[in-house]
Chain A
Amino acid sequence: MSDIPQELKYTKSHEWVRVEEDGTLTVGITEHAQGLLGDMVFVELPEVGESYEAGQDCAVVESVKAASDIYCPVEGEVVEVNEELEDAPEQINVNAYHEGWIFRINPSNPDDVDNLMNADDYTALVEAEEH
């Protein structure tokens, strides 16, 4: 069973979301997801200033054997992207929840984050998928 930190929120499409002190949301893909995809070779980042709806694809992570869309977990505007991933996409493999973060958004509606899964629900989802 892979690492699923309690303090984060999750989506069905395997993104994690951290609520920062300033109300912005940091987004990445989970430890479980990076394990499925394998060694990352490229990350296509969203553009800062661009707005996305919840569930809209806004980035792509690419491994040798797969390319996977990253969906915006809630509606909002991208305020920062992790440019280090351009040269070191493997950060997602090394530490999915910290150095491997992908982008930060300013949510249109801060309450939207409450609709995302908590760690227990996500754990159940991963367990169900593994069967």
Chain B
Amino acid sequence: MPYIPHTSQEIAEMLSVIGVDSIEQLFNEIPPELRSDGLDKIPSSRSEMQVQRLLTEKSMQDGTPLCFAGGGAYEHHIPAAIWEIATRGEFYSAYTPYQAEASQGTLQVIYEFQTMIASLTGMDVSNASLYDGASGLGEAVLMSVRANRKAKSKRILMPATVSSVYRQVVETIVKHQDITLDIIDFDRTNGTIDICKLKQQSEPFVALVIPQPNYFGCMEDVHSLTDWAHEQGAMVIGLVNPVALALLEAPGNWGTQGVDIAVGEAQPLGIPLSSGGPYIGFMACKQKLVRQLPGRIVGRTVDLEGKSGFSLTLQAREQHIRRSKATSNICTNQGLMATTTTLYLAFMGRDGLQKVAASCVQNTQALIELLKTSPGISFPFGTSVFHEFVITLPADVEQVIEAMAEEDIVAGINIFQYYAQDGLENALLICVTETKSTEDMAFFADTLNKVINDLTGGAQ
């Protein structure tokens, strides 16, 4: 029997201690009419060798395509040592560090994680992780409303330059709290928040969300946006890509005061794409908001001999103590991903992260140069971007993506599906990271030209 070590001798001894004749008798408090042993639709047990063969086949079934998609999930090089260490049993199979003395490894890693996230975002304090960037943004919105309990408004200004998938998730999470998400339009010429439309907002609002870089890969004018929102008496939530922060100003330093809450997706820091998860949301804030921060937090303290150590702290905010008045219902978070993120940042260091970011920028510009010569392709928002950019195609974007898939390329993300009302017909969002070689980019450009040529019958 898989993973059950009992011998028949032991089973007999145990039953005799309990004073029953059979294991079946142990279930005698369950009303018989409810009993059902039927698991007919579940296949019979398989050996590890059989399962390995099956899963290997399934993993290879779709090949290993060249990936140019981003949009919130990014392919970066993952140092080999990271997962070797993260999957050590002592990290992998430990529980939440409630017994601090028996969990100093995990606790110190989280303390280091918090420090690294705070440093990266330029904020005072960070929590120990949230599920992912999208749900993290939902938590940030709830937090901003919580921190402004006295405000009459529960209105959040949410730019259309925030990923539409993220906006959907936020909507799901906050919709029962009477919070309004007002979408702020974007400037059609440069793909950033439409400042004129933003400044027309006359009703009070609780917070403005500012993405950097935004969903289109464009860079928002974060300093003036932050100052403007603060002048309106509102808070600012910075939604940031952690790799970009190696080169772009940290949200803690946007404008004269910095944002109030910084949130984002840390998947780019050492976590595989893995069809969308497990990833890890990070959240950091100003010191004065620390008691509104959701999720676990680790603090440094001393033991009874005065030696430095770590433990979970501020737990009275959390559901297991505060129950219906907790800051969030979150319990299990993305602990192992916090470990991998910490490992990634430790291995890369300041210089390494800057180089990764710079390489992304350089490669992105290199592909843009190649595509500039492609007939029929245009750049609706220009080319001043970080590591993603939007092109519009002279052919049906979905057909292009499918044809590129035939050539083993993930061409990017069809964003026409999200921005159909905004004139972004046949728009494709493309991402280039440090993982792409000159040959990869040339192959992408050539294939795209060929596909467009085929689809348009050579009209381009």
Contact = CB atoms under 8 A, between A and B. Distances in A.
B315 interface: yes
Interface string A30-73: 00000000000110100100000000000000111111010000
A-side interface size class: 10 to 19
A45 to B, nearest CB: 13
B321 A65 contact: yes
Contacts of A69: 325
Interface string B138-180: 0000000000001000000000000000000000000000000
B199 interface: no
Interface in B66-125: none
B322 interface: yes
Contacts of B150: 47
Nearest to A57: B325
Nearest to A63: B316
B197 interface: no
Contacts of A63: 316
Contacts of A47: 150
B315 A42 contact: no
B450 interface: no
B291 A66 contact: no
Main SS class of interface, A? strand
B317 interface: yes
A66 B326 CA distance: 11
Interface in B304-344: 315-317, 321-322, 325
A49 to B, nearest CB: 11
B291 A42 contact: yes
Nearest to B318: A67
A64 B311 CA distance: 11
B349 to A, nearest CB: 35
A54 B325 CA distance: 20
Nearest to A67: B316
Contacts of A66: 316, 321
A47 B291 CA distance: 17
Nearest to A65: B321
Contacts of A41: 316
A64 B299 CA distance: 13
B255 to A, nearest CB: 28
Query: Could you say which of B291, B316, B317, B321 has the most chain A C-beta atoms within 10 Å of its C-beta?
Result: B316
Nearest to B326: A67
A64 B316 CA distance: 7
Contacts of A62: 316
A67 B150 CA distance: 21
A121 to B, nearest CB: 28
A12 to B, nearest CB: 19
A88 to B, nearest CB: 17
Contacts of A65: 315-316, 321
A103 to B, nearest CB: 17
B315 A64 contact: yes
Contacts of B315: 64-65
A62 B290 CA distance: 14
A47 B316 CA distance: 21
A80 B187 CA distance: 50
A69 B317 CA distance: 12
A63 B317 CA distance: 11
Contacts of B322: 67
A67 B315 CA distance: 9
Interface string B378-401: 000000000000000000000000
Contacts of B317: 67
Interface in A86-100: none
Nearest to A62: B316
B163 to A, nearest CB: 35
Contacts of B316: 41-42, 62-67
B201 to A, nearest CB: 27
A47 B150 CA distance: 11
13 contacts: A41-B316, A42-B291, A42-B316, A47-B150, A62-B316, A63-B316, A64-B315, A64-B316, A65-B316, A65-B321, A66-B316, A67-B321, A67-B325
Interface of A: 41-42, 44, 47, 62-67, 69
Top 4 nearest A-B pairs (CB, nearest first) are A67-B316, A62-B316, A67-B322, A66-B321
Given A65-B321, A67-B325, 8 more contacts: A44-B291, A62-B316, A63-B316, A65-B316, A66-B321, A67-B316, A67-B317, A67-B322
